[in-house]
Amino acid sequence: MKNLTILLLFITLGPVIGQVGIGTTNPQADLHIAGDALVQTGFTMNNLVTVSTTDKDFKLVTRVTDSNPIGEITTLDVDFLNVAPINVIDYSFTNLQLDNLRDVDLQYDPNKYIVGVANFRHVGDAIKKIPAGNTYSIGHFVVRTFVSGGTWHLEIRNVDLDLDADDSIDYYITLIVYDKSYFRHLPPIITDLGGSNTGTASSIPDLY
Amino acid sequence: MAQVGIGTTNARKTLEVAGDMMITGNMEIGLYNPLKDGDTSTFLIQESDASIKSVDVSNPTGLALAYIQEYYIVNPNLDWVKNFDTGIDATEFVVIVTSASYDLELDLTEVSGDEENFSIPYIATFVQAGTWRIIADYPQAANIDETAIGTWIISTLIFSSDLSKQFGTIDIPMSGSTSGSASTPIID
């Protein structure tokens, strides 16, 4: 009852019956709060208008989980952030040892980020296949990121074959660094196909 | 002292509701602060029951904006994965391969003349019977040691259909030229 009394002290009826202002005598909506609002538990909006295809420059809405009180509503504006949910960084690697980029410490923290490699491009000489019985070996070429010693690392090379000593090759990649606040790195799904080229994954990732 | 508490005598903001709040009309917020470096944060989403919820990625079974899933496909037909069913529902998710690697040395097909071939590996996803599948191969090549058991490590990115659109396929005939132009942009 006491709370209700406090509320009634400060509500102001606007020109249209049913409009309430808090901190304003001129409410512009059914409830107009001229200040901040804090909702301790659930929040429901029955009429949340969706973004249309003609809307531009909209911002995603975020909720800060370490504000005081917890839960300040903010917008995600990547111009204010050093780290966005998705970060795209180009890398080039030159003056390699033959074709071998065996292990480069990218230094990203796997507790905070997932690092994927994309846009791989190689510029330079070809790695030659070598005779193997009645045919030729092409080795196997690996482009991958992996976690080692608490950071993300990169490997790009033909593991079995090497570039000729007087040849050279440069590598270009784009790293996509995902912030784990928004993206989830699921545990690997390991499936043995038993020598078949067709099969079903041992599990379906939990995406719900 | 223009602070109002509902369900509390100690309002910390202009309005504090010590309980739930429901708005059946529109809501406008005049001032949003931008998220700052160092803030820990989540996105907000609206559920079909109109409630506003946060995307808590630290919750192992909660929703994320997208998922990074690695598949270790062990012991396929030499290096050939023709149709690997991830079981992921194609109506609800999009699955794309971001990178992949195979772990064994390969040689070219031992048919006279074919040993001169070249091989470019491909790793891709496609939809069949309502689920996402993976295909991976070094065409015209296979494990040099046919008794060795190979493994493809395939990184995929999985988006919810709530966040992404599938535009289908755009065919661009190149008419024998090395450069060309797409007919219409898929996104304006």
- The pLDDT, as a whole number, for residue B60 is 66
Test mutation, A5, A38, A60, A65, chain B, max B CBs within 10 A? A38
- Residue A92: pLDDT above 80? yes
**Whole-number Cα distances in Å, A197 to A1, B37, B120, B153:** 72, 47, 18, 15
Judged by CB atoms closer than 8 Å, whether chains meet at B35 and A144 is answered as no
Tens digits of residue pLDDT in A67-91:
888 889 888 888 888 888 889 999 9
Q: What does the mean pLDDT of chain B come to? A: 89
| Nearest partner of A175 among A119, A121, A117, judged by Cα | A117
Mean pLDDT of A177-205: 94
Q: Which residues of B touch A199 (CB under 8 A)?
A: 83-85
The C-alpha angle with vertex A56 and arms to A50 and A58, in degrees rounded to 5, equals 65
For residue A197, name the pLDDT band (cuts at 50, 70, 90).
Answer: very high
Judged by CB atoms closer than 8 Å, whether chains meet at B20 and A83 is answered as no
Who wins on pLDDT, B188 or B33? B33
- Residue A15: pLDDT above 90? no
How much is the ipTM here?
0.81
Mean pLDDT of B179-187: 77
| Nearest partner of B129 among B159, B94, B165, B85, judged by Cα | B85
Stretch (H or E) spanning B72: strand B66-74
- Residue A120: pLDDT above 90? yes
Q: Which residues of A touch B115 (CB under 8 A)?
A: 134-136
Signed CA dihedral, A108, A114, A120, A125: sign only? positive
Q: What does the mean pLDDT of chain A come to? A: 88
- The pLDDT, as a whole number, for residue A130 is 95
Percent of chain B with pLDDT over 90: 53
Q: How far is A86 from chain B (nearest CA, A)?
A: 10
Of B51, B67, B141, the CB nearest to A138: B141
State whether residue A56 sits within 8 Å of chain B by CB: no
- The pLDDT, as a whole number, for residue B77 is 97
Who wins on pLDDT, B39 or A161? A161
- Residue B133: pLDDT above 90? yes
Rounded to two decimals, the pTM is: 0.80
- Residue A9: pLDDT above 50? no
Test mutation, A189, A204, A206, chain B, max B CBs within 10 A? A189
Among A15-24, A133-142, B165-174, the range of highest mean pLDDT: A133-142
Mean pLDDT of A41-53: 79
DSSP letters along B138-166, please?
-TTEEESSTTSPPEEEEEEEEEETTT---
- Residue A58: pLDDT above 80? no
- Residue A2: pLDDT above 50? no
State whether residue B138 sits within 8 Å of chain A by CB: yes
Mean pLDDT of B138-145: 95
Judged by CB atoms closer than 8 Å, whether chains meet at B50 and A10 is answered as no
* Lowest-confidence segment of A97-106, B22-31, B60-69 by average pLDDT: B60-69
Signed CA dihedral, A195, A201, A203, A205: sign only? positive
Tens digits of residue pLDDT in B1-60:
578 999 999 999 999 999 999 988 888 888 888 888 888 888 888 887 888 888 777 766
Of B49, B70, B73, the CB nearest to A193: B73
Length of chain B: 188
Q: How far is A116 from chain B (nearest CA, A)?
A: 7
For residue B173, name the pLDDT band (cuts at 50, 70, 90).
Answer: confident
